[in-house]
Structure formats: C-alpha cells, structure tokens
Structure 1
Amino acid sequence: MKNLPPIVVHLLAALGCLVLLVLLTVATDPFTNLRIATVGYYLVAVAGLALLTGFNGQVSLGHGAFMFIGAYTVALLVKRVPSFPIWADLLLATVAGGIAGLLAGAAAARLRGPYLAGATLALAVGLPAVAQRFPDLFAGSNGLSFTVNSQPAALAGVPPTRWQAWIVWLAVLLALVFLANLARGKLGRTLRAVRDDEVAASLAGVHVGRTKILAFLVSSACGGLAGGLQAFLLGTAAPGSFTVALSLSLLAALVLGGLGSLWGALWGALALVYFQVWTDDLADLLDLRTDISDNLPLALYGVVLIVIVLAFPAGIQGGLRKVWVRVRRPNPSQSPSQRGET
C-alpha cells in the first residue's frame, strides 16, 4: 500500500467504505438509512468548508447559501427537465455551487477576518429570500416538491431510502477522494502556505488572490453538491431548510470535528445528525416540556462544543491523534527489550 499512488489508495479506501455502507444500510431500517444518507451530504458540505477554513484560513458563515443553490438546481431540473439522469442533475448542482462560489470568492478575495465572515453571512441571509421574491419559479416559502424517478434497473425492488443512500454516499466518497488528493497535492500545500503567511507565500511566487478564489470555488462546489444530495434524498427544496442557523451549524461542526482534517468533517457531520436524535430521545426519557425539548439540542450542542474545544483545541480528530501518538510513544522508563526493541 505504501508504494501505491495516493489516488489509488484513496480510491481503494472509498471502495471499502462504500461496501461497508451498503452492508450497514441492508442491516438497518429505512429511517436509519435516511440518517446515514443525511450524514453523507452534511459530510461533503463540512469537508468543503474544511478546505476553505481549515486549509486556507478563510472563515465562511454562508455555506448554507451554496447548499440552497445546489438544492434548487436539482429541484428545478427534476421538475422541468425530467429526462435528465440524476447524476447529471447532481453534477449541474455542483457546477452551480462552484460558479456562485467563484463570484463570491472574487468579491471577497480582498477581505479577511470579520469582514469576510460578514460578507458571507450576508449571502446566507439574503440568498434564501430569492425564493420569496420569485414565487412563480421557486414556489415561495413552501418550496419545490418533486419525485425522483431514476431508480437504476439493477436496483429494482430495493427500498427507496436504501438505494438513495447508496447514491448519496457514492457521490460523497467520490468528492472526498477528490478533496483528499487535492489536500495532499501541490494545491493543498499552496492553500496552507497562504493560510500560514500570505506575505511569505506571495514572496515565494504564490498568487494569493487566485488561490483564495480557487479555495472558494472548490468549497462552494462541495456545498452545491451537498444541497443537491439533500434535495435528491428528501424530494424537496425549501428556503426554510437553508437558514443562517444551517451555515453556523456547519462551521460549528467543523470546529467540533477538527479544522484542518477531512476526518474531522466526518465527526462533525455525525454530531450534526445524531445530536438531534440523542437529545430528542433524552427529552422523551425525561418527559420534558415542549419548549425545553425544542431547545435542548442547541443547548447540549453548545456545551459539548465548549468542552471539546477546551479539552482538545484541535477538535475531536486532533484529540484522537494526540491519544494515538501517546499510545504509540514508547515509555522511556522501559528497557529496549520491554518495548519490543532489539
């Protein structure tokens, strides 16, 4: 494995993960299949944000807007061009998100810190209002509902949530393979150089503005794909699903999992989905009032986020890496023979 090119290693790992996910969905009920697929599209959104914020140092509070673009792209294509296969709809949703990110990145290339965060926050606030402004096209606050009739013939008889979860995770794993290779390649090193010191990177010949725009493009394309996958899975695209709270939740999930790691994006996506489930179960167990149970997920999520950041400033993945290093580090008080050395 060590002698194989990174892309081959990543593809083999993705194939292994896909097999495990297929087995997991077969062994679980349709509702669990839906949750597994939900983790998938949140994962690709948080992973794209990790590239932008963790690898390049640009803070975005508006990634829900790119998910909005991807979701409505899929919804409009399914309703108006039903002959398109779902893979083409998802590809166009990714392209639409990337174009929006290219424009946003070009506008924000000279901004940094709170100014960049404010500009992206304005995007998250303003873009969902487009659905209200053009109700004939976007169906207003009710959103667009549709049915995806693109089940592959080879999967005939497979429950809808199961094969849809497979499609979602196939797209997610392909996106992750792309991001993993990008992060390990020349572009990944360039992104980190700009993050660490823009002046030094510029003196080394890096075009800082172009690098920032490219990071925005790739990250927003992931957001567009995530939104498209959500619309494909749920059969609806409504502005209420893409509020500012979603953008903030994606950033919080990234911080919780670990800023500079795609593994951290996985832990963050799991937290986004299962914290709601666990807190709902806890509220039912404690028989809490409705107003308390509605706010319990947000309160507990905030507490856990604070605890994780205080205990592991690099997030869950950083904490796991630190534990792994300590486990592997030999005890200096032991003799070489006790440590298994010769």
Structure 2
Amino acid sequence: MTILVGSSPLRRALLTALAAALVLVASYALDPFRDFQLATVAAYLCATAGLTVLTGLNGQLSLGHGALMASGAYTVALAQDALAGAAVAPVWILVLTLLGALTVGVAVGAVVGLAAARLRGPHLAGLTLGVAVVVPSLATTFGATLGGEQGLPVSAAAPPSALGPTVPYERWQVWLAWAVTLPLLLLLTNLVNSRFGRDLRAVRDHEVAARLSGIDVARTRVVTFTVSAGCAAVGGALMAILTQVASPGSYPLTLSVFLLMAVVIGGLDSLAGAVWGALLLVALPDLARSVTALLPFPPAQAQRWEGNLPTAAFGLMLITVLALAPSGVAGLQRRAVRAVVERRYQRRVRTR
C-alpha cells in the first residue's frame, strides 16, 4: 500500500488488481482455517483503513469504531430477516444487505460527525466512547428485535452456482471479503491522494491555517467521520457474514480499543498501517493459542492465558512502537525500502 501513495489512479488500479491476484492464489494455497483468517483480515481491514483516515490523516480520535462495526452487522441480520420471504436471488440479498450496512454506517457517521465537528481531543474521545458503550447495550434493551445477548443469526452466503459445485466455502469467503475490501481500499487511496485528502491533512496539522486558506474545517471533519464510519460498518457486515451471527459479544468496548491500538502499531500516517493493524488483530489471538498450547498449564489456567495474552502483547507492542518507532510498522517498512533503494543507487554510482 505504501507504493500507492503519490502514484497515478491508473497505477493504483493496476496494483489493486495485482493484490486481487495474490489473494486469489493465496486462497488456493492455504488450508480452510487459514482461508477463514484471510477473510477475517479483510473484514478488519475495512475498519482499520477507515480509522486510519479519521485518526491518522485527519486527527480525530475515535474510541467507537467497534460500535460502528456492530451497526453494520445488525443491519445485515435485520435486512436478511426482512428479505427472507422475498423472491430475491441470494447473491442480490448479499449485495442489498451490504449496501444497507454501508448506508446505515454513513448515516450514523454523519450524525456523530456533526456532533464531533465541535469537539477536540478528550471531549471527542469521550463522545465516541459513549457510542461504543451505548450501541452494544441496545441489543439487550431491545432484545425482542435485536436478539438480546444471543444476537441475531446471519445466513451464510453460499457460493454462486456459476463458480461450480466444488468451491470450498472458506475459499468463497476469502473471495467475497476481498472483493468488497479491495475496491474500498482503492476508493480510500484515491480519496487521500485527492484535493480532499490534502484538506483533511491540513486540518489535522493546523486548523487555523487550514481555515485561513479557505478550507471548510467543519465540513471536512464531518465528511471524514462519515467515510470512516461507512468503512467500519462494511467491515462489521463482512464479519457478521463470516461468523454467521451479529451479537453484542462480538463488538465489545475492547474491540474499539484494539482497533485504535492496531492502527497506531501499524502506522497512523498511511493506509499501509491499516493493513498491518488488521493482520495483527487476526494473528495475535492465533499466536496466543499456539503459545498457550506449548505451555504445561491446566485447562482453566491455559484458557486465562489464551484470553489475556493478546491484550498483553498489544500493550507491549504499543509501548515499544511509541518509544522506538512512532511511525509504526509501516514507517519501519518505508525506512527499510528507502535504505535498500539508496544502497543500490550508491552501488550504481560507484560502478560508474
């Protein structure tokens, strides 16, 4: 994703097509469980990419993106229930529910963004934290509609018959998740490289200077929050489709905190950091299970370690990144690439 910055729209489109080809090859090479994990990375990537644009590129701190993911998940579940008796093909039900999740996320983001446009720093964090607390609790308050603690079932999207009868379900999940995520990333990359992208960075760097240069600061903040919320809702919708359930336990307050920590560790100043953050969100719990399985713990103690080890690892990584590499993993990646390019250039100069 780093090489997309500053490139032309055509080059970005070609690189997105290359990424799609790599995902396609990986879906055939991986086993079913790893395919499911790859699809989960795509779902998280929608949310981390939107959060990177909001927090990293526009400077608005959000602690409520887990709740925005929940809004997309419940929209899919409710829309599927509403369309259950309609004579609509399953693929169109899938498209309509995803569009519905995007619409709800944009609407919620616009409302919260209007309120957040006047807030800064801890006040904005407090507002989004309130959203993260309130939205999951609505599931228990309106249990008859939203299913209470058990949540609502989400029907599995079966592979279209055009793909053939032998396509494994997990491979179809990968194709579905990345078919939504990659175009979304392309749109975000074009957005942050456009004039609006320069405006949102200007607002982040100095609001007074941005206002004096003719930028509508309030409008920029609201639009950015709306775009970010829409991305999070799409990520939540994909997660509900992958896990086949929309429940408050899947989108707790800690998810919002983990999303923010993931984009900080990955790198706030580019969408490449969002990719690293999504990978961490999926890889760390799996790594914790592997480490716990190697330790001679009783089952109860092993379960506690498995639940707490990812949190501890996230915390340690966050402290290390803030102390040693504030630009995150993506910044280290850029530095390494730059060092390799400079070394090759110096070798060419010497040989001449």
For the criterion TM > 0.5, the same-fold answer is: yes
How far does residue 307 in structure 1 lie from its aligned partner after superposition?
1.6
- DSSP-derived class of the 2:48 partner: helix
8 Å Cα contact 1:138/1:144 also seen in 2 = yes
Seq. identity, %: 41
Query: What are the residue-to-residue correspondences of 1:295-310 with 2, within 5 Å?
Result: 295-310=308-323
8 Å Cα contact 1:258/1:314 also seen in 2 = yes
8 Å Cα contact 1:85/1:150 also seen in 2 = no
C-alpha spacing 1:204/1:294, structure 2 compared with 1 (3 Å): same
1:78 paired residue number: 80
What amino acid maps onto 1:218 in structure 2?
Answer: V
Tell me how far apart the structure 2 counterparts of residues 197 and 89 of structure 1 sit (CA, whole Å): 39
How far does residue 148 in structure 1 lie from its aligned partner after superposition?
3.1
Tell me how far apart the structure 2 counterparts of residues 186 and 40 of structure 1 sit (CA, whole Å): 27
Query: What are the residue-to-residue correspondences of 1:116-265 with 2, within 5 Å?
Result: 116-157=124-165, 158-265=167-274
1:314 paired residue number: 327
Aligned mate of 1:87, from 95, 109, 114: 95
1:108 paired residue number: 116
2:13 paired residue number: 11
Tell me how far apart the structure 2 counterparts of residues 135 and 45 of structure 1 sit (CA, whole Å): 26
8 Å Cα contact 1:145/1:235 also seen in 2 = yes
CA distances 1:257-282 after superposition (whole Å, capped 9, x unpaired) = 00011111111111110011111101
1:278 paired residue number: 287
How far does residue 331 in structure 1 lie from its aligned partner after superposition?
9.8
Query: What are the residue-to-residue correspondences of 1:317-332 with 2, within 5 Å?
Result: 317-329=330-342
How far does residue 16 in structure 1 lie from its aligned partner after superposition?
1.4
Moved more, 173-182 or 4-13: 4-13
What amino acid maps onto 1:240 in structure 2?
Answer: G
8 Å Cα contact 1:47/1:262 also seen in 2 = yes
How many residues were matched structurally?
338
Moved more, 302-311 or 277-286: 302-311
C-alpha spacing 1:14/1:293, structure 2 compared with 1 (3 Å): same
How far does residue 150 in structure 1 lie from its aligned partner after superposition?
4.8
How far does residue 162 in structure 1 lie from its aligned partner after superposition?
1.1
CA distances 1:260-317 after superposition (whole Å, capped 9, x unpaired) = 1111111111111001111110111112333233212211221122222222110001
TM-score by length of 2: 0.91
How far does residue 336 in structure 1 lie from its aligned partner after superposition?
7.6
Alpha-carbon RMSD across the aligned residues, in angstroms, is 2.1
Q: Structure 1: 5+ residue runs without aligned partners? A: none
Moved more, 148-157 or 52-61: 148-157
C-alpha spacing 1:285/1:105, structure 2 compared with 1 (3 Å): same
8 Å Cα contact 1:131/1:139 also seen in 2 = yes
8 Å Cα contact 2:151/2:246 also seen in 1 = yes
1:35 paired residue number: 37
How far does residue 326 in structure 1 lie from its aligned partner after superposition?
2.7
Pair 1:287 & 2:289 matched: no
Tell me how far apart the structure 1 counterparts of residues 134 and 197 of structure 2 sit (CA, whole Å): 31
Q: Structure 2: 5+ residue runs without aligned partners? A: none
8 Å Cα contact 2:113/2:226 also seen in 1 = yes
TM-score by length of 1: 0.94
What amino acid maps onto 1:95 in structure 2?
Answer: T
C-alpha spacing 1:118/1:331, structure 2 compared with 1 (3 Å): same
8 Å Cα contact 1:280/1:297 also seen in 2 = no
Tell me how far apart the structure 2 counterparts of residues 16 and 46 of structure 1 sit (CA, whole Å): 21
C-alpha spacing 1:65/1:336, structure 2 compared with 1 (3 Å): closer
What amino acid maps onto 1:249 in structure 2?
Answer: F
C-alpha spacing 1:174/1:202, structure 2 compared with 1 (3 Å): same
Tell me how far apart the structure 1 counterparts of residues 237 and 267 of structure 2 sit (CA, whole Å): 25
Tell me how far apart the structure 2 counterparts of residues 135 and 195 of structure 1 sit (CA, whole Å): 40
Tell me how far apart the structure 2 counterparts of residues 276 and 155 of structure 1 sit (CA, whole Å): 32
